[in-house]
Structure formats: C-alpha cells, structure tokens
Structure 1
Amino acid sequence: MFNGNEGRFVQAGEAKKLRQTYREKKTNLSDYECVTAEFFGANNIKKLLDQPNCVGIRIYHAKREEEINGKTHLIPRLVLIGVDANGKDIRTQDEKRQIGLKDMPGESNRDELADGPVCPPACTP
C-alpha cells in the first residue's frame, strides 16, 4: 500500500496558493480559531520515523479546548503518528490498557506527536 515515497514536493508558488485558499475560506474566524500552521521539531519527527516498520507519517486533524487570555477557544490541532507499509498506524501499546492508579492517567509509551507551537502566534511572517 505505502512505500515511503507518497506525497509530492511542490514549488513555492503552488504551496503559497494552497495556503492562501485555506486562509481565504476562514476569514470569519479569529486567529485563535484559524491556526495557519503547527510546528514539530525534527528530533520528534525522527523518533516517529525511526520506529520499526515505519514508512511515513499520518497527520490527523483534531481540535481541543484551550484557554487563551482567560477565554476558552476550540483550537485546531494536528496529531502525527507513524504508519507502516500496510497503511496501519503504529502503536506500541494497547490503547485500552491503563497503567496507574484507578483515577490517575497512566504512564505509557507515547506513540503520537501533538502540541506543537501553533502559528499564530509562533510564526515568522
């Protein structure tokens, strides 16, 4: 299904047009509600790619309520996970397994990357 060469590189002009089209459709939203980008560090992306049998990364669109300036906003977020050649998300733990005391979140392997700094405000024009 996947071989690690999926996607294509585009020229800067095409990439700019894609971003502009997205932003134009979101003109009625505040900057908090319309995240332009989210940054993830090379070291963390490398950890995903270095997992056994990983041929690429799947990026899920997500939303989470976050408090900004004393108000709660539903913020668009991204969640990245490694994917194998069969198109299956790579998880090294049983998602249903809980480790820890009854009402405490448990420590477990962390297979999905999230919570990168969002743009705005963490971006350079």
Structure 2
Amino acid sequence: MRWFARTTRNDIWDEPIESPLGDIDAAERIRAICHAASAAASRSDKRESERYERAAKVAMEIAMKISDDLMRDDAVHRIVGLCMTANDTKTAQILYRAIHASWIRETIQRDHPTLSS
C-alpha cells in the first residue's frame, strides 16, 4: 500500500553538500535556497516557519564560507530579502550591518527602508 504512504518533501537546504563549494556555486545555492524558501517565509504556519528558519540558517552558513567580498555581500542581500519576507527584521538588521558594498546597502535601504534606522 505504498500509494497512501506519505512522502516527506526534501528541501534544497536539507540536501547534503558533498564537496566544498566554490564562491559561484555557493552563491547559486544561496539564490536557490532563498527562492525556494520564500513561500515558507511568507506563511505564519509553525511548520513553514521552521522550514524558513532552517533555510535561512543553511544559507547564512554557506554565505560565511564565500571568500569574495562582493559575492558574499550579494548573497547576504538575498538572505536579507528572505528575512524581510518572513518579517524577521531582527535577523535582517544584523545581516544588513554585515554588508560592506555601499551600492548593495543602498539597494537594501531602497527596498526595505525600515532597516536603515
């Protein structure tokens, strides 16, 4: 009776990373995680909230390993957008402060003016 068996959905952020990621691969994975988790971030369901938190945590861990400053700032910018979708302004504010590129900070200020204060 496998027809009725529940299958658990495997999210991209739950998939193991088998080898060290280069900067480009890491940025691409963060982009995919943020895109996939945006639906979970916008819901107030407890299960979806836990999915968002796992996704954000994995994305932040990957972003910390990116050696190129500009690429890391862009990845963090995407994570800030995910946090703002989830109304997690505390985490978004912390990540916003970690961005060094002035033009990325200006873009975030334009998109999310509440973070600049």
TM-score when scaled to structure 2? 0.24
More strand by percentage: 1
Work out which of the two has the higher radius of gyration on C-alpha atoms and give 1 or 2.
Answer: 1
Q: Which has the higher contact order (CA 8 A, sep 6+)?
A: 1
TM-score when scaled to structure 1? 0.23
More helix by percentage: 2
